[in-house]
Amino acid sequence: MFLNTRIWGFAFLRAWVYVMFVGLGASSLTLTETPLPAAAYQWSTLALCVTLFLGALAYKKMGAALFDARVRWLATILTTLGTLLGFVFTALKGPLWLVALFGGVATGVGSGLLSLGYGEIYRNRPPSEVDVEIPMAALIAGIVYAFSGMVPPLAGVALASLLPLVSGVIMTLQNHTWQPHNTVKASPLVRSSLGFLLRIGLCTCVVGFADGVVRLIFMAVAHVSANDFYHPGMLLSSIVMAALLVGFVLIWRRSTFRGFYKLITFTIAASIVLTPVFTAVPSWSSLLVLIGYNTFNVFIWVLLANITYSLRLPATFVFGLGWGFLTAGNTMGQIAGNLIVEAVEPSLLILSLVSGLAALAIFALFVFVLKDDDLVDIKKIPFTVEAEDETAASNAEAGISDTQAGTAPDGDEPQPGSFQWACLEMAREQGLTPRETEIMLLFARGRTSTYIQEELFISRGTVTTHLQHIYRKAGVHSKQELLDLIESKLPEA
């Protein structure tokens, strides 16, 4: 069911981000003529980034803290009160520095904890649910944001304050997630996983930066206010994003995550590079930019959720790192865009140059940093507790003990120091099943998936599934990393 409480809770959190941060820029949410100070946004973003990065650095402590209901309630209260009191202080003509400091820090810390909480929730959901639920939640968020612009200011302020409250209550009451016996145990971090996540972080940071710069310069060149830029572009772009991502998942069910990644890369690059073309029609350009913005944000959340589920990594580390880099990159991009606008006269030439460089940076990331081969069909990995239980049960039925699960399929003992011996040593250490060991031996010798399929009389999908199991257990993300791990078992010459 794709309209459950998880979707509504996450949708309201995203809607709060749209309403508050876009509202700050557009000055559309205020109880008086005085809008919330821009410094409130800056403090909130800084506090959000600090919270997310601390979640990544101290992921064990942060993960344990989120399982305490008091911490989840604290996150909800901080975000709600910070939002409400910011408007109240401004209406009462209070010191703006106090509004910015208290409201900004409270909402930043609170929303950061809420984001990490939803990361933990989606770490326990299979890709088949996540790939549809996250885009649907973003679509609902776009609808709520559009609605906020149609109501009187007082109703808009009430809505902005209620969104994090309802979202936090839903997150806190997701009892299935917050019961330790229902939660999939996280695997320890290894060097290859850390490197993989840092590459993702670099990509999110650069793309967020590129998007932020182009957005700011476009608004200056087209003389479009923030309010006109985001209304109705946010709603329309959310509809296009949901149709694009959900349609891709539902129509191409057999597609790999590589195909998904290519689609997203093309979408964000196209939205940026085509922006100057429609400058004469600002509504079209704003729609293009927001399609890229929405699509990439949703894709990153889906990617992080798939990674935590498939590789069983700590949610606080993965989401703290990935979402922290994206937030930091987007913020730095907007700051850079403002500096460029102040330093030079914004023109179509400047916008075209920046858009071209931004698109080149995105393609460079795709080619040199986070290649599609690195993703290894993440969304197809069925890593659930039930899947492990089925594997253990099948081994038991076959009379295979846990210690025998990594032995050679044919029972032959290879010569110590040989490549096959190194493969079997790695298989024993990583707890590979006999079938996984058999496939790994063929794969390590350079056999293709088609060859393995025909040799073992199994389907191509089964080969892919076993390879994903091997990659996950070994803590690697590419064939070269797998070979390096095997070779590390060989005695030095």
DSSP 99: I
Enumerate residues 6+ apart whose C-beta is below 8 A from 324. Answer: 49, 52, 53, 55, 56, 201
- Identify the pLDDT of residue 455: 76
394 pLDDT above the threshold of 50: no
Give pTM, 2 decimals: 0.76
- Identify the pLDDT of residue 324: 95
Secondary structure (3-state) at 225: coil
Q: Which residue has the higher pLDDT, 458 or 243?
A: 243
Residues in the chain, overall count: 493
Are 298 and 138 spatial neighbours (Cβ–Cβ below 8 Å)?
Answer: yes
Quickly list H helices, 274-418: 282-311, 315-343, 348-364, 385-397
Q: How far apart are CA 233 and CA 235, in angstroms?
A: 6
Q: How far apart are CA 333 and CA 206, in angstroms?
A: 9
φ, ψ (nearest 5 deg) of residue 281: -120, 85
Secondary structure (3-state) at 20: helix
378 pLDDT above the threshold of 60: no
Tens digits of residue pLDDT in 163-183: 999 999 999 998 778 876 555
- Identify the pLDDT of residue 373: 64
Q: How far apart are CA 335 and CA 108, in angstroms?
A: 18
- Identify the pLDDT of residue 246: 84
Q: Which two tokens stand for residue 480?
A: 């070269």
Secondary structure (3-state) at 313: coil
DSSP 37: P
Q: How far apart are CA 411 and CA 487, in angstroms?
A: 22
* Omega cis (within 30) before 282: no
Q: How far apart are CA 129 and CA 108, in angstroms?
A: 28
Confidence of residue 420 (pLDDT cuts 50, 70, 90): confident
Q: Radius of gyration of the chain from Cα atoms? A: 24
- Identify the pLDDT of residue 13: 96
Tens digits of residue pLDDT in 225-240: 877 888 888 999 999 9
143 pLDDT above the threshold of 70: yes
Tens digits of residue pLDDT in 108-136: 999 999 999 999 999 888 887 888 899 99
Are 346 and 352 spatial neighbours (Cβ–Cβ below 8 Å)?
Answer: no
Q: How far apart are CA 392 and CA 91, in angstroms?
A: 63
Return the amino acid letter for 228: D
Secondary structure (3-state) at 304: helix
Q: Which two tokens stand for residue 220?
A: 């200056």
327 pLDDT above the threshold of 70: yes
Q: How far apart are CA 167 and CA 170, in angstroms?
A: 5
Q: Give the rounded percent of residues in the chain with a pLDDT score beyond 90.
A: 33
State the SS3 of 43-60. Answer: HHHHHHHHHHHHHHHCHH
Q: Which of 33, 405, 369 is nearest to 201 (CA)?
A: 369
Q: Which of 385, 390, 421 is nearest to 406 (CA)?
A: 421
375 pLDDT above the threshold of 70: no
Terminal Cα-to-Cα distance of the chain (whole angstroms): 58
CA neighbours closer than 13 Å in the CB half-sphere of residue 91: 13
Tens digits of residue pLDDT in 403-415: 333 344 444 566 7
Would the CA dihedral through 161, 2, 117, 197 be positive or negative? negative
- Mean of per-residue pLDDT scores for the chain: 81
Rank 13-22, 59-68, 256-265, 475-484 by mean pLDDT and report only the highest.
59-68
Q: How far apart are CA 387 and CA 379, in angstroms?
A: 15
Confidence of residue 379 (pLDDT cuts 50, 70, 90): very low
38 pLDDT above the threshold of 80: no
Report the pLDDT averaged over residues 324-338: 92
Secondary structure (3-state) at 425: helix
Q: Which of 447, 443, 440 is nearest to 474 (CA)?
A: 440
Report the pLDDT averaged over residues 34-48: 82
φ, ψ (nearest 5 deg) of residue 243: -65, -40
- Identify the pLDDT of residue 286: 85
